[in-house]
Structure 1
Amino acid sequence: MDLVTRIKAEARSLGFDAVGIAPAAVGAREQARLDAFVAGGEHGGMTWMADTAERRRDPAALWPDARSVIVCAANYGPGHDPLDDLARRDRGAIAVYARNKDYHDLLKKRLKRLARWIHEDLAAEVKVFVDTAPVLEKPLAARAGIGWQGKHTNLVSREFGSWLFLGEVFTTLDLAPDAPEADHCGSCRRCLDICPTDAFPTPYTLDARRCISYLTIEHKGPIPSEFRAAIGNRIYGCDDCLAVCPWNKFAAATRELAFVPRDDLTLPLLSELAVLDDAGFRARFAGSPIKRTGRDRFVRNVLVALGNSDDSSVVSVVERLLGDDSPLVRGMAVWALGRLAPDTLRRRADLADTEPDVEVAAEWRAALAGAPLGDDR
C-alpha cells in the first residue's frame, strides 16, 4: 500500500467521509479573490480576514515547512430540505450545521489522531487546522479533488452535494496530490437567484455584509433595517444557497450522531427563545456553535424573526423586551413591536424619551414615524 493510500485509509477509519491531498498552495486565482474581497470591504466586521490575509492567502506563510495538505471532510447532510423550514414563521430556522454539536470539536479530535499517527508512524511533522486558523479551506479542498467552489463560493461535491465540514492536516511530507475537481456548475445560477438579500455581486463572489449567515452570526450590531424583512425566520445562519443546489440529489443524510439535529434545535418556538436570559441561553446551547454568538445577539435575531412572524400572540413577549438590559435587544424589540402592534408601540412611546442608547433611540424614531397613530395613546 503506497503512502497516500495508507493515509487516506487511516483518515476514513477515523470517520471522515472524503479525503484528498493538495499541495501547500492555493493558487493565484484564489489569492486574487481573497485580495478583492478584503480590499472591497466585503468582509464587513470580520477584521481578522484583513489582519491575517497574508497568511491566509499562502499556506507557506502560515507554515513554511509545509509541503502537502491532507484535506478531510465529514458529511453533515440533512434528512430533509431546509427550505421547507422557512414557512414555519412562528419557529426559528437554524442552519443545518448548527443543530447539534460544534463540528470544530469533533473534527479536531479526529484530525489530531490522524496527525499523531502520521507523526509517529511516518516520522513527519504535522499541524492541524479546523476553520479557526487563517486557512483557505475551500480552495484547498478543491485542489485536493474533494469538490469545487460553486458560484455561491461554497464547496460542492458530486457525492455529498453542499454538506461537508472541512479540516486539514498540514505536513512536511511531500505527497502526490490528487487531481483538482473541475467546476460542474455550468450555466446554473440557482444559488445566486435564491439569495434573499442579493449577497452575490457576481458569480463566485460574496459580499458578506449582505449575507444572512454573516448578519445573524458574525455581525455585532443591530441588523441593518434593509435586511430585516428578508431574514424571515432565520435566527442563526442561512442554508438557502446550499439547499437549492442541484447536486444535492446525490447527497445522503449524515450517519454521524453528533451531526443529527437535536429536537430542541429543530424549529424551536420563537416565543420560547425570546425569553431566554443569559443562563438559560448558555444551558440551552451548551456544546452548540450557537453559544458563541452570546445571548444578546441571538435574542436580537429572534426578535427580527418575531417581527416577521405576523403572530399577534407574541406581542406581550416582545413588549417585555423593551426594557431589556441590552441595547441590542431593546432596539430590535422596538422594531418587532412596530411591525406586530404599532398601537402598542405608541402606548409605550414614553420609553423613547428616556432611552440612553443612540442607536435604540433611532429605532424608536423610525418605528414611531412608521407606526399609524392610535387613539389609545
Structure 2
Amino acid sequence: MATTPQTRPAGPTATSERALGPDLARGFMLLFIALANSHYFLRGDTVRGGFPMDGTWLDSAVTWLIATFVDGRAFPMFGLLFGYGVAHIVRRNEALGPRGVRHLLWRRSLVLIVVGFLHAMLLYVGDILAAYGVLLLLGAWTVRWRARWLVLVAVAFFALGLAPSADSLSVSAEPPDASMLPPDLAAMFSERIVVQPIIMLFGPIGFACPFLIGLLAGRARVLEQPERHRRLLIVTAVAGIGVAVLGAQPAALMLAGVTDVPGEATLELIGPLHDAAGVLGGFGYAALIALVAARLTGRTGRITEAIRATGQRSMTCYLMQSVVWAAVFTPFLLDLSGTLTVTTTALLATATWLGTVAAADWMRRTGRRGPFEVLVRRVTYGPRRT
C-alpha cells in the first residue's frame, strides 16, 4: 500500500507523552537561572563579576555558592536542552524533507527572536530567547550534519571560550549601566535598542557548543531513555560537575573575598576557565537530573509534577521571572538594587522561582498550557496544532 507523504508538521508532542528528564531539568534549573540573573542588578562600592564586594560573611558564602554551582552552569544546560529539543522536532518531522524541516525551525526561530526582542526592551536586557532564535536560524543548517562534524565544531566553539579575557570578572565602582537600570522610560528604550542586538547576535557563540552536543544527545535520545545510557550519564554527571566545581574555584574564592584579586593577566585566564568549566557542568547537571528522573518515572509525587510542569512551561516561567526583576530593581519602580544584598537577592530569586512553580502547577491542574508555549507552537505548527 502506498503511503501518503507528510505535507504538514507532525505537531508538538502531547504532554502525556513527554519524557520526564528534560522537563524536570528545565523546571529545576530555572531556579539557577533566577539566581544567576538577579545578582547582576546589585549596586555596591565595588562590584566584581556582578557581585558587590562589600557585604557580610554570609554574602561572601552565598557569592561562593552561586559562583561555584550556578553562574555559567545553568545557561549551557539550557543550550544543550534547546539542541536536544530541536533534534526531537527534526525526528518527528523527518518526512517533510530537509527543506520542510528547515522552514519549520526557521518559523520557530523567528518567534523566539521577536519575543526575545520585546522581552529585552520591556523587561530584561539580558534576554537569551532572541539569542536562541538567532542560533536556531543558523543551526537549522546543522541538524543533518554527521556526528563527527557536530563534535568538531562544538569543540572549536568550546576552545574559543577558553581564549583569555577578563570581561566576566571586570571590576566597577559604578552601578549597572542604564540598559540594566534605566532611570526613565526614554533611557530604557534608547539604551536597550543598542545593547540588545549585540547580545542577540554574539550570544549564540557561547551557546553553540551546548546546542550542537544537544543535537547529538537528542538523536540518541539519551535523556529520554536514561536506562539505555546509564554509564554515559553517570560519567558525564560525575566528570562534568566535578570539573565545573574545581574550575570555578579560582574565580569563586576571589569573588567571595577568600583570596586576593590577582593581576590582570591571571584574571584573563581564570574568567574563561570558570566559564568553560561551566559548560561541562551544564552537561553534568543534565545527566544527573536524567538519572534522577529515571528513578522517579512512574512514581512521581506532587513536588516532582510541579517542577515538571514548570519545565513544560519554561519560557512562560522565565518571562515571569523578568517581571519580578523589572518591578523590584528598576529605578523608577521599586529601585531596590542598592538596598538588597547578595543574600537577600538570592532569597528573592528562590521565592520568585517557587512562585513560578506554583503558577505552573496551577496551570497543570487546570489543564492550561503556558501562554508563550502556545504562541511558539501556534507560529511553528499552525493554529490547529498547539
Q: With a CA cutoff of 8 Å and minimum separation of 6, indicate the structure with the bigger relative contact order.
A: 2
TM-score, length of structure 1 as denominator length: 0.24
For the pair shown, the structure with the greater C-alpha radius of gyration is 1
Q: Which of the two has greater helix per residue?
A: 2
Which structure has more strand as a fraction of its residues?
A: 1
